[in-house]
Amino acid sequence: MRILHVVGARPNFIKLASVHRAIREGTCFQQTILHTGQHCDACMSDVFFRQLDLPQPDLEIGARSGASVSEMADSIFQSSQLACLRPDLMMIYGDVNSTAAGAIAGKKLGTRIGHVEAGLRSFDPTMPEEANRILADHNSDLLFTPSEDADHNLTREGIAREKIRRVGNVVIDTLTRSLASARFTRFPLLERHALVTLHRPSNVDKDSSLQQILQALIRISEIIAVVLPVHPRTRRTIDKIGFRSEGANIRLLDPLPYLDFIALERDAAVVITDSGGVQEETTFLRVPCLTLRDNTERPVTVDVGSNTIAGSNPESLHSLVSDVINGSRRKGSVPALWDGYASQRIVTCLKEEFA
């Protein structure tokens, strides 16, 4: 049994870590990792492999972040090493461009495809990730879902029920295993802070949109310290508009390694984000989360009370943060099967499927 894992971006590595480990410890399957290169710098890639105890990728196609889905798919399909490998199953993760590229390449190769974190939908067709999710799901043979709403989304779209396996959330597997090792050594710990992450094109690519968000963060910094690890995409716009945080209680950091980030996340009073994975992590950590978007593909985090959709207008953030600081927002609960064992359930499914 030969499994090929296709990954390319930071969220993929977090999901891969727990699945790769569970397969390694629970089966004798042969595993190969293909890195598309979507995130290729040390802060966004290399350090994640080291901290998450992942072996270095066996194959790298070097597509880089500027490559389109179709370019990545062609590069994967044309890899001479991949032709020799002839995997029995290609595993793809999440909703980034590398995920959709893997789905296309897998179909070209005639390889069965398993999609980890299948069935999520924001119902926002303007999001590139939404197209990636739909493409990945409709080309996959095994769909590993994190929650009940994901199952319903897939069956509503006509995907056969027998392809769907609800296993829980592999992001939580990696989080629970890493919390004991989480550390924050490069900067003094803040007793009380708001952690902010921004990377969605709708928030950071347009000068005026990011400027409004940054102005809102300056106001928030008057009532609580703000810590913002700056994504490379966000950094480009910040440099373009010439934003400086002098005079405000805002700390701009370079992208953080995984363990450093979850330490900041765990100790935050509130998290402001446009990231899907951060919505999940804060739910498990019982840290109030404000999502700076008009929608979420993870509505279960809103249902259990940990996440609030703040909308795309940052003017509401100040009052929402004030509510959290004043204790008027509940911390929520943890969804079913977000217990740290989703990857083991995937292994059980694979053993049954390929017996």
Sorted by where each begins, the domain ranges of the chain are 2-169+338-353, 183-325
Per-residue model confidence (pLDDT) at position 330 = 65
Per-residue model confidence (pLDDT) at position 114 = 98
Per-residue model confidence (pLDDT) at position 39 = 59
Per-residue model confidence (pLDDT) at position 215 = 93
Give me the mean pLDDT over the 340-348 stretch.
Answer: 98
Per-residue model confidence (pLDDT) at position 133 = 98
Of 186-195, 282-291, 338-347, the one with minimum mean pLDDT is 186-195
Which residues are registered as beta bridge partners of 309?
291
Instruction: Report which of 86, 101, 105, 108 is spatially closest to residue 30, judged by C-alpha positions.
Output: 86
CB atoms within 10 A of CB 279: 26
Q: Which residue has the higher pLDDT, 190 or 288?
A: 288
Q: Which residue shows structure tokens 């890899």?
A: 79
- Residue 202 pLDDT exceeds 90: no
Q: Which residue has the higher pLDDT, 140 or 184?
A: 140
Give me the mean pLDDT over the 85-96 stretch.
Answer: 94
Per-residue model confidence (pLDDT) at position 246 = 80
Give me the mean pLDDT over the 247-275 stretch.
Answer: 91
Per-residue model confidence (pLDDT) at position 130 = 96
Instruction: Report which of 64, 126, 127 is spatially closest to residue 95, judged by C-alpha positions.
Output: 127
Rounded Cα distance, 315 and 290, in Å: 13
Instruction: Report which of 90, 138, 144 is spatially closest to residue 116, judged by C-alpha positions.
Output: 144
The CATH fold assigned to 183-325 is: Rossmann fold (3.40.50)
Instruction: Report which of 109, 7, 11, 111 is spatially closest to residue 57, judged by C-alpha positions.
Output: 7
Per-residue model confidence (pLDDT) at position 105 = 93
Per-residue model confidence (pLDDT) at position 65 = 61
The amino acid at residue 12 is N
Q: What is the pLDDT of residues 12-25, one digit of tens each?
A: 999 999 999 999 99
Cβ proximity of 289 and 269 under 8 Å: no
- Residue 184 pLDDT exceeds 60: no
Q: Please classify residue 271 by burial: count the beta carbons closer than 10 Å to its beta carbon, then call 0-12 exposed, 13-18 middle and 19+ buried.
A: buried
Q: Which residue has the higher pLDDT, 186 or 214?
A: 214
- Residue 307 pLDDT exceeds 60: yes
- Residue 251 pLDDT exceeds 80: yes
The amino acid at residue 327 is G
Bridge-based pairing of strands 89-93 and 112-116 is parallel
The amino acid at residue 257 is P
Rounded Cα distance, 80 and 272, in Å: 44
- Residue 296 pLDDT exceeds 90: yes
Rounded Cα distance, 192 and 295, in Å: 28
Per-residue model confidence (pLDDT) at position 332 = 85
Give me the mean pLDDT over the 282-304 stretch.
Answer: 96
- Residue 187 pLDDT exceeds 80: no
Distance of CA 135 to the CA centre of its chain: 17
Give me the mean pLDDT over the 40-57 stretch.
Answer: 76
Instruction: Report which of 2, 90, 76, 3 is spatially closest to residue 38, judged by C-alpha positions.
Output: 76
Which of 95-99, 168-172, 327-331: highest mean pLDDT? 168-172
Domains 2-169+338-353 and 183-325 fall in the same CATH topology: yes
State the average pLDDT for the chain. 90
Per-residue model confidence (pLDDT) at position 67 = 73
Per-residue model confidence (pLDDT) at position 31 = 97
Rounded Cα distance, 191 and 189, in Å: 6
Which amino acids are annotated catalytic?
Answer: 199
CA angle (29, 258, 36) in 5-degree steps: 55
Rounded Cα distance, 16 and 162, in Å: 24
Dump the DSSP string for 2-24. Answer: EEEEEE-SHHHHHHHHHHHHHHH
Rounded Cα distance, 346 and 114, in Å: 10
Per-residue model confidence (pLDDT) at position 206 = 87
CB atoms within 10 A of CB 327: 7
Which of 114-123, 186-195, 233-242: highest mean pLDDT? 114-123
Q: Looking at residue 43, what DSSP letter applies? A: I
CATH number of 2-169+338-353: 3.40.50.2000
Per-residue model confidence (pLDDT) at position 146 = 98
Give me the mean pLDDT over the 257-281 stretch.
Answer: 93
